[in-house]
C-alpha cells in the first residue's frame, strides 16, 4: 500500500482543486466566472486554488478581454493532465486493493 501513496499528488488533496482539474480535463478551457458559478465558491477561494495549480504548472492561464471586460481562461497543461491521470490511477488502485 505504501508504494501506491507515492503517486498521490498533494496538489489534488483539496476538494476544490480536484473539482477544478476534473472540469479542465473534461473541457478545452473554462473561464473564471463559469468555474466560480459551477463550483459555487467565492472569488478569493477560487483564485487561491487556481494560483496553487498554476504554481505547480498544472494549468495554463490566458488573460484577455471580451469587449471591454477582462476574461481569464484556464486550461489543463500537459504536465497537469499527466499528474491528474496518475493521481486518479493511484486512487483507483487503492480502492481496488481494499476490495480484496
Residues ≥6 apart with Cβ < 8 Å to 36? 42, 43, 46
Question: According to the model, what pLDDT value does residue 88 have?
Answer: 93
pLDDT value of residue 35: 97
Q: Which of 25, 35, 41 is nearest to 75 (CA)?
A: 25
Per-residue pLDDT of 24-64, as tens digits, reads 999 999 999 999 999 999 999 999 999 999 999 999 999 99
Cell numbers found for residue 34? 463559469
Of 84, 67, 68, the C-alpha closest to 76 is 84
Q: What does the pLDDT read at residue 95?
A: 85
Q: Which residues contact 69 (CB under 8 A, 6 or more apart)?
A: none
Q: Alpha-carbon distance 59 to 61, whole Å?
A: 7
Specify the pTM: 0.88
pLDDT at 3: 62
The per-residue pLDDT for range 68-90, each reduced to its tens digit, is: 999 999 999 999 999 999 999 98
pLDDT at 67 over 60: yes
Query: Is pLDDT at 91 greater than 80 in this prediction?
Result: yes
8 A C-beta contact, residue 89 and residue 4: no
Amino acid at each position: 500500500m505504501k508504494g501506491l501513496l507515492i503517486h498521490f499528488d498533494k496538489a489534488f488533496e483539496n476538494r476544490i482543486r480536484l473539482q477544478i482539474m476534473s472540469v479542465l480535463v473534461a473541457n478545452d478551457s473554462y473561464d473564471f466566472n463559469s468555474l466560480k458559478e459551477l463550483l459555487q465558491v467565492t472569488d478569493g477561494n477560487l483564485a487561491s486554488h487556481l494560483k496553487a495549480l498554476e504554481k505547480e504548472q498544472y494549468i495554463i492561464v490566458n488573460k484577455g478581454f471580451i469587449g471591454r471586460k477582462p476574461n481569464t481562461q484556464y486550461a489543463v497543461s500537459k504536465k497537469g493532465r499527466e499528474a491528474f491521470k496518475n493521481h486518479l490511477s493511484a486512487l483507483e488502485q487503492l480502492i481496488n486493493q481494499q476490495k480484496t
